[in-house]
Amino acid sequence: VTTRSPGQRAGLTREALLAGAGDLLREEGLESLTMRALGTRLGVTPKALYSHVAGKDALIDHLLDQTLIEVRQPPVDAKDPIDGLQTVMASTYRVLLTHPDLVPLYLARQGAHGPNAHRLGAIITVLLAEAGVQGHAQQEALRVLIGYTIGFAAFAVRPESGSEVDGQSSGSRPRANVMLLNFTAGLQWLLTGIVRDWSTPDRR
Q: Is 109 in the site for DNA (CB under 7 A)?
A: no
* Interaction partner, residue 90 (DNA, its own copies, none; CB < 5-8 Å by kind): none
Residue 9 binds which of its own copies, DNA, none (CB < 5-8 A, kind-dependent): DNA
Question: Minimal distance in Å, beta carbon 50 to DNA?
Answer: 5
List the single partner that 165 binds among its own copies, DNA, none, CB under 5 to 8 Å by kind: its own copies
3 state SS for 54-123: CCHHHHHHHHHHHHHHHCCCCCCCCCCHHHHHHHHHHHHHHHHHHCHHHHHHHHHCCCCCCHHHHHHHHH
19 or 137: CB nearest its own copies? 137
Q: How far is the CB of 65 from DNA (least distance, A)?
A: 18
Q: Which is nearer to its own copies, 149 or 199 (CB)?
A: 149
Residue 20: closest CA among 33, 2, 4, 3? 33
Site residues (CB under 7 A) for DNA, limited to 9-68: 9-12, 32-37, 44-48, 50-52, 55-57
CB of 6 to its own copies, least distance (A): 33
The DSSP call for residue 33 is: -
CA atoms in the 13 A half-sphere facing the CB of 188 = 7
Cβ–Cβ < 8 Å for 156, 179: yes
Report whether 187 contacts 147 (CB < 8 A): no
Residue 15's binding partner out of its own copies, DNA, none, with CB under 5 to 8 Å set by partner kind:
none
Based on the shown chain and the rule CB under 7 A, indicate whether residue 2 belongs to the binding site for DNA: yes
CB 95 within 8 A of CB 68: yes
Based on the shown chain and the rule CB under 7 A, indicate whether residue 7 belongs to the binding site for DNA: yes
Residues in the site for DNA, rule: CB under 7 A? 2, 4-12, 32-37, 44-48, 50-52, 55-57
